Amino acid sequence: MTQQDIKLTRLNKYISDTGYCSRREADRLIEQGRVTINGKIPEMGTKVSDDDVVSVNGKPVKEKQKRIYIALNKPAGITCTTERHIQGNVIDLIDYNTRIFPIGRLDKPSEGLIFLTNDGDIVNKILRAGNAHEKEYMVKVDSTVTDRFLKDMARGVPILDTVTKPCKVTREGRFEFKIILTQGLNQQIRRMCEHFGFQVKSLTRTRIMNIDMQGLKTGDWRLLTDKEMAEINSMVESSSSTEEASDYGQEKPKTKSQHSKRGVNSAARQKRFGYGDYAATPGQVESDAPATDFWSDNQQEASTSVDEQDDSTTNFWTENAKANASVIEESNHVVEDNSASFSDEQIASRARFESAQKRKSHKKPATRFSIIADREKAKLANAKSEPAAPRVKGTLTLKKK
């Protein structure tokens, strides 16, 4: 027999086929170095034959066993887990002589149909959301089931940072309805009802794909027939088994981007500046009117105050004009006498400064420096048009009146 004639199987599938665990769990065991082939630690993706000895934690995995498929009518209060130390676990309830595990979950307070098997490959195919396999539930709530409630539930409900897929919802009684889902988010039905203010009183899964609870009392179980399994295998034939069942339907931790400060600041900016989802509505604009009036009133009061100050300042200069006239006249003579000590550039710079200050002021009265600056500015303008006369130093004599 040549190497090509030997049938090789991927290691994770080989372990899964023995019923030891699912493929994803087998991958974890391989990554952790807990799996050996003929005493050697293999790499991911290694293939094995029936002649190889595959061991997990130092113990050879048993030969392929007959695949088991069980349908259980789970009572309320039983936990869907393989952890035997947890009181009221589903494995102890069935007490089967072969290692099995549940396909999916059913909340502890919920009851109804659930599958158990030792076939790790079919678990993922049944649970994968993209395969749209139906699961039917009967739900009793604390309030009257209305048409609006049924339509909203069927349309899709925002929970767990997503929106549930459209589903079929029908009324079965005043406080009871039937819902058919094709996905299995964590506590999906309870969260959907809570979104609309309804509390679930009881929840029973009545069907999974082509299997119902007919003939099964609460707590009873039975093996699925070959015909039923043929139908299930036909339904999942094109299904991918890449998604791990144990990971499916769990709340995924929020990523850093979902908590990023940038997103929060962006929303704050929208709310502050009025765009995006926080853009002001007509009602909001109307509610902002009092604030606008407040600032308008204060602007008018401030303007009135400035005018009053300007009037008082003007009156002050008017009343003191006579007293200052002689001082200004004397200053003019002094400036004319001492102007030779300043360069034209310095005088022009001072004139520009005084001019700028004058433009910035509001009704600012003339000052000593502004008068001097205006006169020097006029002299500079005349100097450009005709040559300046030579300056002669002399003594200034003031005449008394």
Map out the domains of the chain as residue ranges: 3-60, 69-247, 320-383
Tens-place pLDDT, residues 274-300: 333 333 333 333 333 333 343 444 444
What pTM was computed for the model? 0.50
- The kind and range of the H/E element at 370 are helix 368-385
**CATH class of the domain whose range is 3-60:** alpha beta
Q: Respond yes or no: is residue 107 known to be catalytic.
A: yes
Spatial distance between the Cα atoms of 388 and 399, rounded to a whole number of angstroms: 27
What is the Cα–Cα distance from 13 to 47, expressed in whole angstroms?
Answer: 9
Percent of residues, the chain, with pLDDT higher than 90: 41
Q: From CA 339, how far away is CA 109, in angstroms rounded?
A: 102
Cβ atoms within 10 Å, residue 184:
19
Q: Rounded to whole angstroms, how far apart are CA atoms 102 and 219?
A: 15
C-alpha separations of 327 from 6, 256, 269, 332, 370 in Å? 121, 76, 60, 9, 14
**Catalytic entry in 107, 121, 142, 147:** 107
From residue 324, alpha-carbon distances to 317, 327, 351, 367, 400 in Å are: 9, 5, 22, 10, 17
Highest-scoring range by mean pLDDT, 127-131, 149-153, 346-350:
149-153
Mean pLDDT of the chain: 75
pLDDT of residue 61: 87
pLDDT (tens digit per residue) in 27-64: 999 999 999 999 999 988 899 987 889 999 999 987 66
Query: Is pLDDT of 270 > 60?
Result: no
Tokens at 308, concatenated: 């009053």
**E runs forming strands in 49-146:** 54-56, 59-60, 69-74, 101-103, 111-117, 135-141
**What is the C-alpha to C-alpha distance for residues 292 and 59, in angstroms, rounded to an integer?**
81
DSSP codes joined into one string, 256-308: GGGG-HHHHHHHHHHHHHT-GGGPPPHHHHHHTHHHHHHHHHHHHHHHHHHHH
Gap between the Cα atoms of 119 and 401, Å rounded: 127
Q: Give the per-residue pLDDT at 288.
A: 36
Which CATH superfamily groups domain 69-247?
Pseudouridine synthase (3.30.2350.10)
Q: Three-state DSSP class for 246?
A: helix
pLDDT of residue 377: 79
More confident residue, 96 or 258: 96
Is residue 163 a contact partner of residue 156, using CB atoms and an 8 Å limit? Answer: yes
pLDDT at 203: 98
Q: Residue 129: pLDDT band by 50, 70, 90 thresholds? A: low
